[in-house]
Structure 1
Amino acid sequence: MTDKSETGSLSLKTRLYAWWEGYDLSGMRSRHKAEDPDGDRHDQPQHPQPAPGIDRWGKPLWTATRIEVAEKLWGEGFNTPGGSDHIPYLVKPLGLNPAMSVLDLSAGLGGTSRTMAGKYGCWVTGLEASELLAKEAMIRSFKVGLEKKAAIETYDPEHFSWSKRVDAVVYKEGMFTVRDKEQMFDGIEMALKPRGHLLITDYTVEPDRLESKAVQSWIAKDPLEPHPWPKDRMAAAFAQRNLDLRITEDITDTHRNLILTAIQGLVGHLEKHHMDQQTKLAVMDEVELWARRVAAIDAGMRVFRFYALKPAE
């Protein structure tokens, strides 16, 4: 496959610039600073550990405008790669059915939770750090009559515990932002019933790739500071809790293609629609975020699907 990050992305950038009425990226940022006295938030002091739903520069991670842009990228009810067509492939190892209870630890706008509840009849509780995303997710669950089977609540990933035991836990590309992953794994293990299922998809970076320029740029500029583990450390976390790791699958190419296809589709949409200045800035921020992640992938970051079973008591 042609490397779109080196070739195809150039045409995407050209089209994005054309859409931006002739401004190049640096011009756009200059204009943004002139209109925003706070300037580029990437230059501001970083908070040691943001509160849930707050980015590393002390601002809300999500706004109504960013939500609008995210849904244009990933589809209604989704704010990360992989819409309702992708979720069944992702969760297939869980064997979901109407008798099962599921915790979704990266609920976002609730798309994954509603897809699982709607397609398999299981009872899902989605947990989300951002109050705004959780609120918007519940609005979307009510709209389709899944407010009970796909309810979304707020939580703090750095202090995770769940009082009720569940049949399955799903955590889609969220663990990499958690500083204290050991407490998260402990909380997940405690939440699982005997014979419970655990599915995690996450970004991993091996030590020899950690210092690459693209990976460092991703770590420095992502809205939530990444703390990626290498694949073997992730596997060890399962083993330490006696979780039987059945699948360790590299899904990087699939994830990368989902991102590039979505950006391509967004650019096509932008060329046909007028947007206000605030929305344009949000679009460019979101595209830059995912372009940085693709660049990190091309520099060696991987995306893995881990699936494990908790043993019977």
Structure 2
Amino acid sequence: MSDNSGHDHAGAPRITLKTRLHAWWEGYDLSGLKGRGGEEDGKPQAGTAPAQPAARGHGPGVNRWGKPLWSANRIEVAEKLWGEGFNTPGGHDHIPYLVKPLGLNPAMSVLDLSAGLGGTSRTMTSKYGCWVTGLEASELLAKEGMIRSFKEGLEKKAPIETYDPENFSYPKRVDAIVYKEGMFSVRGKDQLFDGMELALKPRGHLLMTDYVIEPALAGAKAVQVWCDKEPMQPHLWSKDQMAAAFAQRNLDLRIAEDITDTHRGLIVSAIQGLVEHLERHHLDHDTKLAVMDEVELWVRRVSAIEAGMRVCRFYALKPAE
């Protein structure tokens, strides 16, 4: 949690970091762009789209306002934040820790339901020799992820394809499923859980990380701001609701672990690294806007975490038939 000094409990310089970021922005004489929307301390902030009523009925890969979630500029910024081939926290060094419970080996087949640019899928394949199919809701991310798999010669062992999380089914059965911080934005969680259970072989492994919150904390201001401005509208469950979903499908939940501090640390460290990069490099106008949008997205997530939202790792086994 943060305090009024502008430092978090570990002493991370949150205000200093924000000041440096906005100093970088102002240094390029783009202060007039601050009228694009968004608020902090009652003042407009650059690069943030104004909050609008959530729209329903749009297909996968678009935000709640019906616009594409990803662009070439956003991908460039994301890889600068998280590392080549990654668009969310946790790069090559983090994935082995994350998937350790799976006991991956070359004989195993894996589904990655939050493939993004394919970094997690390719890391699992390269390190453990397993066969991974990455599924991604954004057509652009899936295309770019597949390009990266081709470049690494992993187009057969780590292909990236598109899918719709709200209507998930898979024609084959696999040894393991990995789903990294994606379930929180799915409205139909029960159908997705059913689809995952059906896609697992007997003795199959299911590993998920996701944002959760206890009902008593869901009304916190920072959580509500995050919910209102998150590109994909959150549909948060509590940790107990997640555990119940595993139990209802006879999945043996072996790990239900709070990894919030690790996740938050990855975000803060990445933003600090990005700010240091920005201070040394000139960016074009569109990329600057993408930088501000992406940083503010992750700052809002950190604020929601500090207000009580948690990040948990769940690991379960499907029983033998």
**Same fold (TM > 0.5):** yes
Q: What is the rounded CA distance, in whole Å, between the counterparts of 1:4 and 1:74 in structure 2?
A: 23
Instruction: Give the CA deviation at 1:47.
Output: 1.4
Identity of aligned residues (%): 76
Instruction: Give the CA deviation at 1:21.
Output: 2.6
Task: Give the letter aligned to residue 224 of structure 1.
Answer: M
Alignment equivalent of 1:280, drawn from 267, 288, 303 = 288
Alignment equivalent of 1:30, drawn from 31, 35, 38 = 35
Moved over 6 A (4+): 4-7, 23-26
Q: What is the rounded CA distance, in whole Å, between the counterparts of 1:50 and 1:186 in structure 2?
A: 22
Task: Give the letter aligned to residue 303 of structure 2.
Answer: A
Distance 1:90 1:130, change over 3 A: same
Instruction: Give the CA deviation at 1:25.
Output: 9.9
Distance 1:91 1:273, change over 3 A: same
- Identify the range of structure 1 (78-87 vs 41-50) with the bigger mean alpha-carbon deviation: 41-50
Extract unaligned runs of 5+ from structure 1.
34-38
Alignment equivalent of 1:306, drawn from 295, 299, 314 = 314
Instruction: Give the CA deviation at 1:24.
Output: 10
Equivalences for residues 127-206 of structure 1 within 5 A: 127-206=135-214
Alignment equivalent of 1:14, drawn from 5, 19, 27 = 19
RMSD over aligned Cα atoms: 2.0
Instruction: Give the CA deviation at 1:32.
Output: 8.1
Secondary structure of 1:125's counterpart equals strand
Instruction: Give the CA deviation at 1:109.
Output: 0.3
Secondary structure of 1:198's counterpart equals strand
TM-score (norm 2): 0.92
Instruction: Give the CA deviation at 1:40.
Output: 6.3
Alignment equivalent of 2:258, drawn from 227, 250, 257 = 250
Alignment equivalent of 1:66, drawn from 74, 80, 95 = 74
TM-score (norm 1): 0.94
For the 8 Å contact 1:17–1:25, the answer to whether it is kept is no
Q: What is the rounded CA distance, in whole Å, between the counterparts of 2:94 and 2:18 in structure 1?
A: 26
Distance 1:122 1:93, change over 3 A: same
> Which residue is equivalent to 1:36?
none
How many pairs does the alignment contain? 308
Distance 1:134 1:5, change over 3 A: farther
Alignment equivalent of 1:293, drawn from 293, 297, 301 = 301
Task: Give the letter aligned to residue 151 of structure 1.
Answer: P
Q: What is the rounded CA distance, in whole Å, between the counterparts of 1:219 and 1:6 in structure 2?
A: 27
Q: What is the rounded CA distance, in whole Å, between the counterparts of 1:41 and 1:296 in structure 2?
A: 18
